Amino acid sequence: MRKGFLSLAMGSMLIASCGGGGADFDLPSSGGGGGGSSNSVKFKNVSVQPTNLQTTSSFSVSWTADYSGMYVVEVYQSPSNSVPVPKDNYRIATVNCFSFSEACKGSSGSIQCKIDRGSPNIISCNVGGYATTNAQLVSGTGYIVLRAVVFNPFEETADIRSVQVVFP
């Protein structure tokens, strides 16, 4: 009982010291202070080489962004030029970009992927020495879609680019 009361008292003091749970702070406005927000990443260019994946087993995905801080690039296979739903089923790689990342140093990054033919085909990508895998869910004409995100606890901004490819 005494332990429960102590926990309740400590929790109440913590909530009170944080402003009682109300929003006592200003949320950042979008666009912030002229010239764009420092909390967003925009792709300068994105490429997939080669784009005809029917006759090859490997391909590379590379990008350059106008942001050199910490951000995340998610890579998807997609039947359309947007992030597919449910996105976790179509994700083939997640790349954490920061100054000492192997796959993404600062504003540019590149990953190598391959398609292991079978039933189903499996797409695997090397992300800084770590392999990610997912079943190939798209066949024929489709897209490799990249989504770049800088996470901000108050808002999430993303830039999405796609490259048309031909899957086996």
> Residue 27 above 50 pLDDT?
no
> Residue 32 above 70 pLDDT?
no
Phi-psi region of 30 (alpha: psi -120 to 50; beta: other; left: phi over 0): beta
The answer to whether 107 touches 67, Cβ cutoff 8 Å, is yes
The region of weakest confidence among 18-32, 47-61, 88-102 is: 18-32
- Kindly give, in sequence order, each residue whose CB lies less than 8 Å from that of residue 31, ignoring residues fewer than 6 positions away: 37
More confident residue, 99 or 63: 63
Angstrom distances, CA of residue 159 to CA of 2, 12, 38, 68, 99: 52, 40, 14, 15, 20
The answer to whether 136 touches 77, Cβ cutoff 8 Å, is yes
Give the CATH number of the domain where residue 157 resides. 2.60.40
Please write the tens of the pLDDT for every residue from 63-98: 999 987 889 999 999 999 999 999 999 999 999 888
pLDDT at residue 1, as a whole number: 46
Residue bearing tokens 């109300």: 22
> Residue 14 above 50 pLDDT?
no
In a domain? residue 7: no
Among 60, 54, 77, 75, residue whose Cα is nearest residue 136:
77
pLDDT at residue 38, as a whole number: 58
In a domain? residue 14: no
Count of the separate structural domains present in the chain? 1
By percentage, how much of the chain surpasses pLDDT 90? 54
Q: How far apart are CA 103 and CA 111, in angstroms?
A: 6
Beta strands in the chain (DSSP E): 43-49, 58-65, 71-78, 91-97, 104-105, 108-116, 122-127, 130-135, 140-152, 155-167
Please tell me whether the overall predicted TM-score, pTM, comes out greater than 0.85 for this model.
Answer: no
The answer to whether 38 touches 71, Cβ cutoff 8 Å, is no
- Token readout for 110 is 């590149």
In a domain? residue 135: yes
In a domain? residue 118: yes
pLDDT at residue 156, as a whole number: 74
Residue bearing tokens 């798209």: 138
Q: Which residues form the domain of 92?
A: 39-167
